[in-house]
Amino acid sequence: MENSSRTTTVAVTGATGFIASRCVIDLLNQGYLVKGTVRDLELGKELKAWLAPHTSRVENLTLYQANLLSEDGWDQAFTGCRYVLHLASPFPLLSPENENELIRPAVEGTRQVLEAALRNQVQRVVMTSSTAAVSYGHQDQDRVFTHKDWSDLNGSIEPYQKSKTLAEKTAWEFIRSLPEGYFMELAVVNPGYVLGPVINHRAPTSISLHQMLMQGSLPGVARIKFNLVDVRDVSKVHLAAMTSEMAVGKRFLCVGGGIWLGEVAEILSNHFRPQGYRIPRIQFPDWFVRLYSLVDKRARLVVKSVGKDTAYDISQTQEVLEWNPIPLKQTIIEMGESLIEFGLINRK
């Protein structure tokens, strides 16, 4: 696809988010003009200060206030944009009592963004979905999932996973149902559990695993496998999906690799224990984790994954977008170092 970044404007929704802020950095460093949406313009002012150590082009970022549940602000943010990266979506640590607290902004927000993009003649939207829309709700979790798989909404599925699945299905249906004469391209990125260095003192949901391990709030670890990916890789995949001619109409699973929680703890322990961080390395038996989940909400969220060897086929992402993931050990260590730098980890 022909593209001159210095004359191209890209909108990034939810610009203060963990992944979105990395996308903004990479876009600015590649010379793009960026229009970011935020829920609060006061927080947007802080964003520019956070970005400054990572890019010399902060002046090329303009911020607009927009909310996923309102029409206001989207047209202003998308006017003149060739591309939109839609990353804004709720990502809580714990499931809400009412699932619509997640589903409504995810689904209605996706529709708001696509309608505004279409009105403003945006050429391509790259939407951030998740592996949560790919592999959940199935009884058989011990297998390799591909970009053709979808989470089963009729199975046992948490509100977050349901919200990501419904939001992505909404996006594809929107594109399929465009009336004759209307045209807009869509590509979707489905990251796994996103880790990597943070750029500020705010605490994104993704840091909770590192916090619990490095602060000693977990006495031991469960036999749970995580399919991780570096936030810097997720940004690279978004930008590649934005410009590649071969990306249109495709889903891109974005997973750097699978690793068991005990292995994560061992990597952190080997690197940070000499600095005084006591990372737990005892592995609890599966029965104990299931029993503990009856009294602990955090354990309840992961108990269905105990012992499950889920994996993802990322060949389409690697082949179409020419992507090679950052090694997981590097991601895990560099995230820990950044959390210490910004005071998000307290030594115990």
- The answer to whether the beta carbons of residues 265 and 345 sit under 8 Å apart is no
User: Among 164, 225, 236, 297, which one carries the catalytic annotation?
Assistant: 164
Q: Which of 89, 328, 105 is nearest to 231 (CA)?
A: 328
164 in catalytic set: yes
The DSSP annotation for 232-269 comes to HHHHHHHHHHHH-GGGTT-EEEE--EEEEHHHHHHHHH
The DSSP annotation for 122-170 comes to -SEEEEE--GGGTSTT-S--SSEE-TT----TTSS--HHHHHHHHHHHH
Task: State the burial class of residue 342 (Cβ atoms within 10 Å of its Cβ: 0-12, 13-18, 19+).
Answer: middle
What is the amino acid identity at position 4? S
- Radius of gyration, alpha carbons of the chain: 20
CA distance 123 to 313: 28
CA distance 81 to 94: 35
Token pair belonging to 103: 């589903």
Catalytic annotation, residues: 164
